[in-house]
Amino acid sequence: MTHESGGFDLGRWSAAFAVEDSSQPTTPLDLYGAHDARALYDETYENYKSFVNPPLARVMKLSGSPVEVRALGSTIWDHNGKAYLDFAGGYGVFTLGHSHPRVVAAVREQLERMSLSGKTMFSPLLGRLARALADLAPGDCSISFFANSGTEAVEGALKLARAATGRTKFVATTNAYHGKTVGALAVSGRDAYKTPFGPLLGDIVHVPYGDAAVLPDALRDAAAFIVEPVQGEGGIIVPPLGYLRAARAACDASGAILIVDEVQTGLGRCGMLFGCDRDGVVPDVLVLAKGLSGGVVPIGAFVTRPSVWNAAYAKQPLVHTSTFGGNPLACAAALAALAVLHDEDLVANARARGEQLLAGVRAIAADYPSVVREARGLGLLVGMELQSEGYAGTIVPEMLRGGVTAAWTLNAQRVIRLEPPLVVTAEEIERGLAAVRGAVATAFAKLGVLVETSSTHT
C-alpha cells in the first residue's frame, strides 16, 4: 500500500468505531438560552467587546461576522439559521467536516467511561493511538508524544531536537508559521507577531523557503531544520519538488534533526496522507495537530524515531510532559477520526476535489487578472493571491454574505485560503467557487484596479 492511500491498514482501527451515519441536524437551531437571534448576537458581541478582545470584536463586527451556533459536515449555521459552506475549515482543523457522527459517538462513549487521565496508570487509548500513528507515519517514526495544540507539539519537537543533539541552533524558513508560544514563534517568520515579545529563543537562522542550495551551509552545527511541506500561513506556498529530499540530505550530512511540521498539511489535506510523501521523505520528527482528532477534541502530537527519542530522553522519561496531552477524550476522537479518514477514502477525495477547486480558482484568476494575481495549492489547501491586500477586505465579507466562509493566511494577508473539509462534495466545491467569483466581481466593481508592490511568492 502506498502512503497516498494510507501507508497502513486504517481499516483495522475502523471496526471499533462503526456507528449509524446521520447527515443532517434533526433538532432546531439552538440559541443557547437567548430569547431570540438578535439577543444572542448582541450578548455575544458585547461579551467579546468587553471581556475577550475589544479591537478584534470591532473588526469582526465590521466584516459582518455572525454568531456560530451549530455545525455538521461542511456546513456551519449562524444565529439567524443561515447556512454557510465552511471553506475556512477552522484553518485546517475540520478535515472530516464538523461533528462527524462517528467521532462524536466515540467521544461520547469515552466521556461516560473516563474523560481525563489519572496520570498514574497506563491509558489504553493513548497506547492504541500511538500504535496507530506508528503504522501510519513514514519510515520508522514510531514514538508519539501527545500535546493539546500545534504550537505545543512544535515546542516539544524543538526541545527534543536540542536534547537529542546537544546543539542549540535551529534553522527555519522565512515566512514560516509554527505557532505562537515562545519557541514556535521564534522559528516562525512574521515580525509583527514577534516584535512585542523579544528576545525570543536565540540561535535561530531563517533561510528562504524552497531554496535547497542554502541548506548545507545553514545547517552546519544545527540541532534541527524545521519546515512545512507547504507553507500554509505563509500564503499557501508549494516548494519545488525535491526540496524536502534535499533538506533530508543536508540534515543527514550535518547531523541535524529534520522536523517536518504537518500541523496543517498532514492527514490528507494535501491529497496525500502527509505532505512529506510528495518527496518520499522520512522526517526525524513529524508534527501533527489540527485534523488529527477529527475536529472534535483538541490534540497535538509529534511522532519521532526511537533513536531520536532515546538520544533525548532514555535517561529522563519525565523531562517533557503534559497534564492534558493525550487525554482519553482526544485519543478516542483521534482513533475514530483515523478510521473515518480510511473508510471514507478522504485522501483520494481531497486530491480530486482539490484539483477541481484549484482549476476553478485559476479560471477566476484568468477572468479577473487585475484582482487575482495567482491561484496555487496542493490538494484542499488552496490559496488565491490578490494583486492588492485592499481587495481582501471586500472579498472575505462578500463571500460570507454569499454563504461561504473564507479567511486570509496569517502571514500573508493578500492570500485568501480556501481550505474546505476533505468530505466536501463536487457540488459544494461548485457552490464555493460561485461565491468566490461573485465576491471577486464585486470587489472589482467596487474598487477598480488597486496597485500593490511585491508578490508573497518566494
Ligand X SMILES: Cc1ncc(COP(=O)(O)O)c(C=O)c1O
- State the residues that interact with ligand X by CB under 6 A: 91, 149-151, 154, 177-179, 228, 232-233, 261, 263-264, 289
Q: Which is nearer to ligand X, 334 or 439 (CB)?
A: 334
For 401-437, give one letter per residue: b (16+ CB within 10 A) or e.
ebbbbbbbbbbbebbbbbbbbbbbeeebbebbbebbb
Instruction: Please check whether residue 256 is in contact with residue 224, taking contact to mean a CB–CB distance below 8 angstroms.
Output: yes
Q: Which is nearer to ligand X, 215 or 299 (CB)?
A: 299
For 109, phi and psi rounded to 5 degrees? -60, -40
Rounded to whole angstroms, how far apart are CA atoms 283 and 147?
Answer: 19
Min dist CB 263 to ligand X, Å, is 3
Rounded to whole angstroms, how far apart are CA atoms 398 and 296?
Answer: 28
Min dist CB 381 to ligand X, Å, is 10
Q: Which is nearer to ligand X, 264 or 304 (CB)?
A: 264
Q: Which is nearer to ligand X, 70 or 278 (CB)?
A: 278
Whose grid coordinates read 508559521?
177
Min dist CB 181 to ligand X, Å, is 7
Q: Order of strands across the sheet with 407-409?
A: 372-378, 381-386, 412-418, 407-409
Min dist CB 172 to ligand X, Å, is 11
Nearest-5° Cα angle at 177, 450 to 147: 145
Q: Which is nearer to ligand X, 98 or 269 (CB)?
A: 269
Helices (H), 137-280: 150-165, 182-186, 191-194, 215-218, 243-254
Rounded to whole angstroms, how far apart are CA atoms 424 and 290?
Answer: 17
Give the three-class secondary structure for 153.
helix
Min dist CB 122 to ligand X, Å, is 27
339: closest CA among 3, 84, 13? Answer: 13
Instruction: Please check whether residue 411 is in contact with residue 423, taking contact to mean a CB–CB distance below 8 angstroms.
Output: no
Q: Which is nearer to ligand X, 75 or 151 (CB)?
A: 151
Instruction: Please check whether residue 261 is in contact with residue 225, taking contact to mean a CB–CB distance below 8 angstroms.
Output: no
Q: Which is nearer to ligand X, 354 or 360 (CB)?
A: 354
Q: Which is nearer to ligand X, 261 or 284 (CB)?
A: 261
Q: Which is nearer to ligand X, 278 or 342 (CB)?
A: 278
Min dist CB 300 to ligand X, Å, is 6
Min dist CB 227 to ligand X, Å, is 10
Min dist CB 248 to ligand X, Å, is 18
Residue type, 283: P
- The alpha carbons of the chain give a radius of gyration, in whole angstroms, of 22
Q: Which residue is nearest to ligand X (CB)?
A: 150
